[in-house]
Amino acid sequence: MKIILNGEPYDLEQPISVAELVRRIGKSENRVAVERNREVVPHSAYDSVLLQEGDRIEIVQFVGGG
């Protein structure tokens, strides 16, 4: 199964949740925002939203600073 992750092809063996994808790429769920097919995924839905073939996912990480 292929998705597009931050503009690059990304292969998955099976559908996984947004939360699992965030963990696989080594990010903390509390420090990222996820967009799926141009719609923001609420943090409360990360565990229940399953990725599907062809999904376009953008993940951005919040960085502190001044």
Other CB atoms closer than 10 Å to residue 53's CB: what's the count?
A: 9
Q: Is the pLDDT confidence value at 62 over 90?
A: no
Which CATH number applies to 2-61? 3.10.20.30
Q: Is the pLDDT of residue 65 over 80?
A: no
Q: What is the mean pLDDT of residues 59-66?
A: 83
On whether the CB atoms of residues 57 and 2 are closer than 8 A, the answer is no
Single out the residue of 44, 60, 8 nearest to residue 17, CA to CA: 44
Q: Which helix (H) or strand (E) holds 4?
A: strand 2-5
Tens digits of residue pLDDT in 14-47? 999 999 999 999 999 999 999 999 999 999 999 9
Q: Where are the domains of the chain?
A: 2-61
